[in-house]
Amino acid sequence: MLSDNFKQLLDIQEERLGVIRADCAPFAGDQDNAQQVHQRIVDDIDQIIDLTRAFRAANPSTTQDKQAALQTYGQSSKISMELSGFIFQNSHCSGAFRHAALQKHGALVHVIAREQVTTCVNMGWTLIEDILAASRKRTSDIGPVVAGADTPYVPAPMDQAALDRTSLYSQDGNIYTLRPRNQDKKGPTPE
């Protein structure tokens, strides 16, 4: 399910999150606001790494397994996005010494979260395609059924009135009928 390039991206994300965690861990605690901010960062990064490892270890074979794996990675991306916002909102609590470092960490976590969200969206579309293909008794490798070159195009049946005009209601309550330009050069007329 996972390509080598994607596994490499997960490794890079985990390495960068590990560096942020290692930088914040010495300042973590629960005694004051600055320590609580750092503790939340450490806890959230641990959770993100655990969920990402669970996603990576999953070897889904069925659609339900793929959906569960995608939900796991989606949870990881949700926590990452919330963490980046939390870091930006609370970096001032850490004092001038840590403010710049936390701003940098927040930007990096935000980039990782965007990568995760983009991956989830792309994988979600792939999963939807697989579900639709399975419901049509086809695989996504075959693709959609295409009409042959000799099959004539037949438009869906519509009544002539629907093709000739469209009704439009104005703010003053009048109903205007729009007709094709080649039939009526005057524009809309009230009924």
Q: Give the distance, in angstroms, between the CA of residue 70 and the centroid of all CA atoms in the same chain.
A: 11
Tell me the pLDDT band of 139, cut-offs 50, 70 and 90. very low
pTM for the model: 0.67
Please answer whether residues 188 and 178 qualify as being in contact, where contact means their C-beta atoms are separated by less than 8 angstroms. yes
- What's the rounded Cα separation, in Å, for the pair 166 and 138? 40
Geometric angle at alpha carbon 26, from 38 and 91, rounded to 5°:
30
Q: What's the pLDDT tens digit per position in 3-46?
A: 888 889 999 999 999 999 999 999 998 888 888 999 999 999 99
Q: What is the mean pLDDT of the chain?
A: 80
SS3 track for 16-85: HHHHHHHHHHHHCCCCCHHHHHHHHHHHHHHHHHHHHHHHHHCCCCCHHHHHHHHHHHHHHHHHHHHHHH
Q: What's the pLDDT tens digit per position in 49-61?
A: 999 999 998 888 8
Among 90-104, 131-145, 147-161, top mean pLDDT goes to: 90-104
Q: What is the pLDDT of residue 133?
A: 78
Q: What's the pLDDT tens digit per position in 79-91?
A: 999 999 999 998 8
Q: What is the pLDDT of residue 169?
A: 58
Q: What is the pLDDT of residue 137?
A: 61
Quick check: 151 pLDDT over 80? no
- Phi and psi based region of residue 137 (left: phi greater than 0; alpha: psi -120 to 50; beta: remaining): left
